[in-house]
Structure 1
Amino acid sequence: MRNLDAAIAAANLSIPVSTAVSMQTLSTSYPPSAGAFAEGAKPLMAEIAELLARKKYPLLVNVYPYFARVGDPLNVELDYALFREGETVVHDGRNTYLNLFDAMTDAAYAALEKVGGADVEIVVSETGWPSDGGRDASIENAGTYVNNLMGHVSSGKGTPMRPGKDIQTYIFSMFNENQKAEGVEQHWGLHYSNLTPVYQLDHL
Structure 2
Amino acid sequence: MQNIHNAIVSANLQDQIKVSTSIDMSLLGNLYPPSAGSFSDRASSYMASVVTFLANNGAPLLANVYPYFSYIGNSQSISLDYVLLRSPGVVVQDGEYGYQNLFDAILDALYSALEKSGGSNVKVVVSESGWPSEGHAAATIDNAATYYQNLINHVNSGTPKRPGQAIQTYLFAMFDENKNGPEETERHFGLFHPDKQPKYQIRFN
TM-score, normalised to structure 2, is 0.95
TM-score, normalised to structure 1, is 0.96
> Which of residues 107, 129, 137 in structure 1 aligns to 2:109?
107
In structure 1, the residue matched to 2:174 is: 174
Matches of 1:143 and 1:24 in 2, distance apart? 25
Please give the root-mean-square deviation of Cα atoms over the aligned residues, in Å. Answer: 1.2
TM-superposition CA deviations, 1:159-185 (whole Å, max 9, x none): 011111110000000000011125100
Please state if 1:160 is matched with 2:149. no
1:80 and 1:88 in contact (8 A); partners too: no
Deviation at 1:87, TM superposition (A): 7.4
TM-superposition CA deviations, 1:86-123 (whole Å, max 9, x none): 57610000000000000000000001111111110000
1:147 and 1:202 in contact (8 A); partners too: yes
1:65 and 1:101 in contact (8 A); partners too: yes
Query: In structure 1, the residue corresponding to 2:111 is in which secondary structure?
Result: helix
Gaps of 5+ in 1: none
In structure 2, the residue matched to 1:2 is: 2
Please state if 1:48 is matched with 2:50. yes
Deviation at 1:188, TM superposition (A): 0.2
Matches of 1:53 and 1:38 in 2, distance apart? 20
How does 1:9-158 map onto structure 2 within 5 Å?
A: 9-13=9-13, 14-85=16-87, 89-154=91-156, 157-158=157-158
TM-superposition CA deviations, 1:114-161 (whole Å, max 9, x none): 11111100000000000111130000000000000000013xx21011
Identity %: 50
Aligned pair count reads: 202
Matches of 2:196 and 2:55 in 1, distance apart? 40
Query: In structure 1, the residue corresponding to 2:201 is in which secondary structure?
Result: coil
In structure 2, the residue matched to 1:198 is: 199
Matches of 2:137 and 2:57 in 1, distance apart? 42
